């Protein structure tokens, strides 16, 4: 695995690079050391208070509870729920997404507790660890990690990540089917980045691609910014993200010309071969909870920082009382 960097048990590759789907860490200090040093790009993280929980979406759970199993009926009910939310939420929203902004509306629904095919993730392993530990169940918690690059390339064309053409200067040339002449267009002047993202999501859902689609919200509020928010979009409700841990269940269907199809043609160029490259599950023992929350507080990760606003301050105050500690201002007060 190469030369060990200071404080690491996994070498230069870091904890996200080793060939383990469930890597083990000996202490919270090891966790901090590994993730503070790890530079592996494009991983997303999710903390859950119970190690045994899977990664199904709230929409899948709602359908299961209601006994709705037929795919066509599920599609009808999902459409109806989106319309139900739009009709009523507009009364209370000073700003709202465009009518056809699917990602924008799903993000709002997710934010306000409606069941959706989105799942909340974060770009920060430490924010994810806080969500794993903020409740106090009598069990171990879990930190999940998913490789967003591989999942994304499975449903979109091309293997190279490129920035959006905000300048509007990159042309694409195609042949007009009627005239046979070459026509140059600038794609970013014909559609917006948000519209393109919605097209990708809709097409993956339409095909039931299976692969979760990693995405970032476009309309970011203070809470999303503080939590370094990201989403995974379920494209097949019967394929929860943790199914990626079983290689035999990996989705076989790929977008024509996509990275996944390209992989099949060029074995070895980007060797996506084993589950550990896509997903990891790290046990966070219950015994680490108190030192972890103290450590995360020193990093600035508390209820009132990741939930900006008075509601977050209220929950932070409740935590302060439960901890039996003086506020820092009071600790400095030495007057009689």
> Same domain for 307 and 283?
no
Mean pLDDT of 266-270: 50
Count the alpha carbons within 13 Å of 161 in the hemisphere toward its beta carbon: 8
Tell whether 172 is covered by a domain.
no
Tell whether 70 is covered by a domain.
yes
> Same domain for 137 and 250?
yes
Tell whether 5 is covered by a domain.
no
Cβ–Cβ contacts within 10 Å for residue 4, how many?
11
Least confident of 160-164, 247-251, 292-296: 160-164
Band (329; pLDDT cuts 50, 70, 90): confident
Computed over every residue of the chain, the mean pLDDT equals 86
> Same domain for 332 and 242?
no
- Percent of the chain beyond pLDDT 70? 89
Measure the CA–CA gap between 22 and 143, rounded to whole angstroms.
Answer: 10
pLDDT per residue over 245-264, tens digit each?
A: 999 998 875 555 555 555 55
Band (39; pLDDT cuts 50, 70, 90): low
> Same domain for 110 and 213?
yes
> Same domain for 218 and 321?
no
Beta strands in the chain (DSSP E): 43-48, 118-122, 141-147, 172-175, 182-185, 213-215, 229-233, 279-284
pTM: 0.86
Least confident of 10-24, 103-117, 151-165, 272-286: 151-165
Tell whether 193 is covered by a domain.
no
- 324: left (phi > 0), else alpha (psi -120 to 50), else beta? left
Least confident of 59-68, 179-188, 283-292: 179-188
> Same domain for 247 and 335?
no
Residue 152 main-chain phi, psi, to 5 deg: -65, -45
> Same domain for 150 and 244?
yes
- The whole-number pLDDT of residue 267 equals 45
- The whole-number pLDDT of residue 21 equals 93
Tell whether 251 is covered by a domain.
yes
pLDDT per residue over 120-154, tens digit each?
A: 999 999 999 999 999 877 999 999 999 998 898 88
Sign of CA dihedral 161, 119, 302, 283: negative
- The whole-number pLDDT of residue 130 equals 96
Instruction: Give me the residues paired with residue 215 across strands.
Output: 231
> Same domain for 333 and 218?
no
Count of domains observed in the chain: 2
- The whole-number pLDDT of residue 3 equals 43
Taking 90 as the threshold, does the pLDDT of residue 243 lie above it? yes
- The whole-number pLDDT of residue 1 equals 35
Tell whether 244 is covered by a domain.
yes
> Same domain for 211 and 335?
no
CA angle 23, 27, 38 (to 5 degrees): 55
Tell whether 260 is covered by a domain.
yes
Mean pLDDT of 257-280: 66
- The whole-number pLDDT of residue 87 equals 95
> Domain of 105?
28-160+199-288
> Same domain for 335 and 221?
no
Greatest mean pLDDT among 39-53, 70-84, 189-203, 296-310 lies in 70-84
Tell whether 16 is covered by a domain.
no
> Same domain for 270 and 317?
no
Instruction: Give me the residues paired with residue 145 across strands.
Output: 45, 280
Query: Which is higher by pLDDT, 278 or 163?
Result: 278
Alpha helix ranges (H) inside 266-309: 289-298, 303-306
> Same domain for 260 and 334?
no
Measure the CA–CA gap between 240 and 216, rounded to whole angstroms.
Answer: 19
């Amino acid at each position: 695995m190469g030369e060990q960097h200071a404080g690491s048990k996994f070498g230069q590759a870091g904890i996200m690079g080793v060939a383990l789907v469930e890597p083990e860490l000996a202490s919270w200090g090891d966790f901090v050391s590994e993730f503070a040093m790890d530079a592996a790009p494009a991983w997303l993280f999710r903390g859950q208070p119970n190690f045994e929980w899977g990664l199904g979406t709230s929409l899948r759970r709602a359908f299961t509870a209601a006994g709705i199993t037929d795919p066509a009926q599920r599609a009808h009910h999902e459409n109806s729920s989106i319309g139900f939310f739009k009709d009523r939420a507009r009364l209370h929203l000073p700003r709202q997404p465009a009518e056809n902004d699917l990602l924008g509306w799903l993000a709002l629904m997710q934010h306000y507790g409606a069941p959706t095919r989105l799942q909340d993730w974060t770009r920060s392993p430490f924010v994810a660890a806080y969500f794993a530990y903020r409740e106090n169940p009598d069990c171990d918690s879990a930190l999940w990690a998913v490789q967003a690059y591989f999942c994304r390339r499975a449903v979109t064309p091309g293997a190279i990540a490129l920035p959006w053409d905000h300048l509007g200067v990159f042309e694409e040339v195609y042949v007009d089917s009627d005239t046979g002449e070459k026509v140059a267009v600038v794609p970013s002047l014909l559609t917006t980045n948000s519209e393109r993202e919605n097209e990708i999501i809709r097409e993956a859902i339409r095909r039931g691609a299976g692969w979760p689609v990693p995405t970032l919200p476009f309309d970011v509020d203070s809470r999303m910014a503080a939590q370094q928010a990201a989403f995974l979009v379920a494209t097949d409700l019967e394929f929860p993200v943790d199914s990626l841990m079983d290689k035999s269940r990996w989705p076989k269907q790929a977008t024509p010309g996509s990275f996944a199809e390209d992989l099949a043609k060029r074995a070895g160029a980007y060797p996506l071969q084993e589950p550990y490259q896509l997903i990891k599950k790290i046990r966070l023992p219950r015994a680490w909870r108190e030192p972890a929350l103290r450590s995360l507080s020193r990093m600035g990760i508390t209820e009132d920082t990741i939930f900006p606003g008075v509601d977050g301050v209220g929950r932070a105050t409740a935590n302060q009382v439960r901890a039996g500690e003086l506020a820092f201002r009071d600790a400095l007060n030495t007057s009689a």
